[in-house]
Structure 1
Amino acid sequence: MQKTEDNQFMYLFIALRPLMRGFDYCRPVVVVDGAHLGGAYKGCILPLAYGVVDTENDCSWTWFFEQFKNAFGERENMCIISDRNESIMKSVSIVFLNVPQCACIWHLWKNV
């Protein structure tokens, strides 16, 4: 948990140990945001981590990805999929220098 100097709540990161261990047996694809699996490509989603923040901005996303990296590390062939939110993209490029970012096709389709 992250607090201000005045002991006010700022951020909370939650990653349960069984989910952290389970990630070792999954493809290293991290989806940030909601995941929508339907149609021909059914599947299971492993909720790796949760973040509770005061607001979505560069600082909160950078903090979240730092905590994520501490908990899960950086794996070979890892990629991060998002809705291309500017703060997410900026934070991933700061915290995960060698991890490619991909656009969520569902979000792209909805925006077109």
Structure 2
Amino acid sequence: MYLFIVLRPLIRGFDYCRPVVVVDVAHLGGAYKGTFVSASTLDGAGCILPLAYGVVDTENDCSWTWFFEQFKNAFGDRENMCIVSDRNESIMKSVSIVFPNVPHCACI
């Protein structure tokens, strides 16, 4: 039901980036339904560095909690990390569950 993809060079590259993780979704249409979820950051040159991505059935508490658990398994706890997203309730709830000491900021 869920798919999570992260590449080793991206895990290593995150060590040299600011500890700001931006998460977002895109709803898939056409023959393949679901929701594309992604986490990214900025590298030293100010370019977007994708960290992890996946496909879930829908944007809800369970899928976001699962995604953040997989992200935490891959990247671990990072000091001074911050998660940025839109004001989605499921994201805010899941961040507080999986990363209780990590602040969540909303982009506008």
Q: TM-score, normalised by structure 1?
A: 0.76
Which is greater in Rg? Answer: 1
State the shift of 1:33 in Å.
Answer: 1.3
Over the matched positions of the two proteins, sequence identity in percent amounts to 93
- Structure 1 alignment gaps of length 5 or more: 1-9, 106-112
More helix by share: 1
SS in 1 for 2:49: coil
- Structure 2 alignment gaps of length 5 or more: 34-45
**Which residue, 31, 40, 47 being the options, matches 2:22?**
31
Number of residue pairs matched by the alignment:
96
More strand by share: 2
Q: TM-score, normalised by structure 2?
A: 0.79
State the shift of 1:35 in Å.
Answer: 12
Between the aligned partners of 2:85 and 2:3, the Cα distance in structure 1 is 20
Runs (4 or more) in structure 1 with deviation over 3 Å come to 34-42
CA RMSD of aligned residues (A): 7.2
State the shift of 1:51 in Å.
Answer: 1.4
1:58-94 CA distance string (max 9 Å, x none): 0000000000000001111100000010000000000
